[in-house]
Amino acid sequence: MNFVDLLMLGFSEAITPANLAFCLLGALLGTLIGVLPGIGPTATIAVLLPITFFLPPLAGIIMLAGIYYGAQYGGSTTAVLVNLPGEASAVVTTLDGYQMARQGRAGAALAVAALGSFFAGTVATFAIAVAGPMLSGFALSFGPAEYVALMVFGLLAATILASGPVLKAIGMILIGLLLGMVGTDQATGAERLTFGAVELFDGVDFIVIAIGIFGFAEIITNLERSGSEGVQLAPLSRLWPTRDDFRRSWAAVLRGTGLGTLLGLLPGGGATLASFSAYSLEKKVSKHPEKFGTGVVEGVAAPEAANNAAAQSSFIPLLTLGIPSNNMMAMMLSAFMIHGITPGPTVLTNQPEIFWGLVASMWIGNLLLVVINLPMIGLWVKLLTVPYRLLYPAILLFCCIGVYSMNNRVFDVILAAGFGLLGYAFRKARCEPGPLLLGFVLGPLLESNLRRTLLITQGDPSIFVERPISLVMLLATVVLLALMILPSFRRTREEAFQEEEA
């Protein structure tokens, strides 16, 4: 089948009534959690993962994907109108978006954000459609040695791109690897790190960790924050931007789209890194960088395009190589595996309706998000008047239901609560939990591929340098290690994340 035939196959799957309904539901939920600060797509997808048991595979994946990229749209609404980012990737949008709103140009800021996000999402989805088959064909030449080298490189890159000190990020990776070892060793049948608990013989469930660290811990953290009631809304002006707004923003949207698409491919990259990088790039190329932060439209267009492009291009490594590039893609990997689908090069050949159906649904979802966001801005903002003290009990209830429904065990709920306290401690220690989730997901895959490699070579590790792809990955890993040692690189990295941490 040629490219056009495959796209037609995808649209024939995506436009079925059920899949359209779940695409709309995902877009609505994504926008909602993007608008409401303190929930986030990670915790939401963790809660909804058990529900996908009862859905067809493509419908469940379409819904979860819609939540992820939909949250990038919704986060800009409160960032502009309330100076309160609903999603981490919208933090930088507050700098100029809220200033535009105070000048009576909130409608223009929101329209530029929505249209820029739509363009970026469309381009990034096209990149998935074009790059997916090519990378999948390349990935077919991967053996276990190549996957080991790729995962080592990915885990190390994730520590560099994670905010906070590198040593803390490495520590989180190691904790994730240890958690991935809990349970019965499939090769030897020996128990590992179970401490005699029968409930741990099958290992720790992914959803237990995800809901605990991202759901419960997020609730505890948000309950500490003040000022969650009585927000001050900026006046909402007419929605359509002026001709000058379009003239000044189109180049910023193009740059943000390109940068976001590239950063979404990197291990540890994602929407937040892309939005901050795009904003920094715009300040560097601008003739008047001193005006940024005073309400320039480029400061809204570039980061909003970048975060949506990165959110969708991060699906490329997952779908083609089976390797999640960030914690959200680790969630999506779990969703695939719940339905017995192993992401990677074989998906395009054995289950093309899954790959192309998801790609087509992203185009449809981006169009739905423009329709949802612009006319319903007033409704979304009104939700901010609901006090968080009324929201969190419902969120907590859904978290507990999601964990319990996995195995119908109270032990899992207690374990998730324990991980919630651990996640809260991580936040207090300024340790980003994302690398832990990557380590937990990639750890078992890394171990099994390493064992296969050493069994094939009868324990000879030289295969890692004899195979070209593996050698290139290992050399890239060495380069990253060398960069981590350089003081100048460490200073540059700390400066890059200083604004985000503030």
Q: Judge whether residue 8 has pLDDT over 80.
A: yes
Summarize the confidence of residues 11-32 as an average pLDDT. Answer: 88
Between residues 251 and 75, the one the model is more confident about: 251
| Three-state SS at 241 | coil
In this structure, the chain runs to a length of 502
* Predicted pLDDT of residue 267: 65
Q: Judge whether residue 228 has pLDDT over 50.
A: no
Q: Please, is 383 exposed, middle or buried when counting C-beta atoms within 10 Å of its C-beta (0-12, 13-18, 19+)?
A: middle
For 184, list phi and psi in degrees, rounded to 5: -95, 125
Between residues 477 and 386, the one the model is more confident about: 477
Q: Judge whether residue 361 has pLDDT over 60.
A: yes
| Strands (DSSP E) found in 72-224 | 183-184, 191-192
| Three-state SS at 295 | coil
pLDDT band with cut points at 50, 70 and 90 for residue 76? confident
* Predicted pLDDT of residue 234: 52
pLDDT per position as a tens digit, 197-209: 888 888 888 778 8
Structure tokens at 86: 């609903």
In a domain, 231, yes or no: no
Q: Judge whether residue 495 has pLDDT over 70.
A: no
* Predicted pLDDT of residue 17: 92
* Predicted pLDDT of residue 490: 57
pLDDT per position as a tens digit, 365-384: 888 888 877 777 666 666 65
Q: Judge whether residue 493 has pLDDT over 70.
A: no
* Predicted pLDDT of residue 162: 61
Q: Judge contact between 253 and 119, C-beta under 8 A.
A: yes
pTM metric for this prediction: 0.71
Which of these ranges, 170-184, 291-305, 396-410, has the smallest mean pLDDT?
396-410
Nearest to 41 by CA among 54, 30, 50, 53: 30
* Predicted pLDDT of residue 86: 59
* Predicted pLDDT of residue 502: 46
Between residues 258 and 371, the one the model is more confident about: 258
Summarize the confidence of residues 479-494 as an average pLDDT. Answer: 66
| Three-state SS at 87 | coil
Helix axes 57-81, 298-313, angle to 10 degrees: 160
Structure tokens at 401: 């239901």
* Predicted pLDDT of residue 21: 92
Structure tokens at 322: 């089976």
Q: What kind and span of H or E run contains 280?
A: helix 271-285
In a domain, 230, yes or no: no
The conformation of residue 376, written as its DSSP 8-state character, comes to T
Which residues span the domain enclosing 474? 3-225+236-499
pLDDT band with cut points at 50, 70 and 90 for residue 498? low
- Residue 130: count of CB within 10 angstroms of its CB: 12
Highest-confidence segment of 188-192, 355-359, 427-431: 355-359
The conformation of residue 324, written as its DSSP 8-state character, comes to -
- Give the number of domains in the chain: 1
- Residue 320: count of CB within 10 angstroms of its CB: 24
pLDDT per position as a tens digit, 36-69: 655 667 767 777 777 777 888 888 889 888 888 8
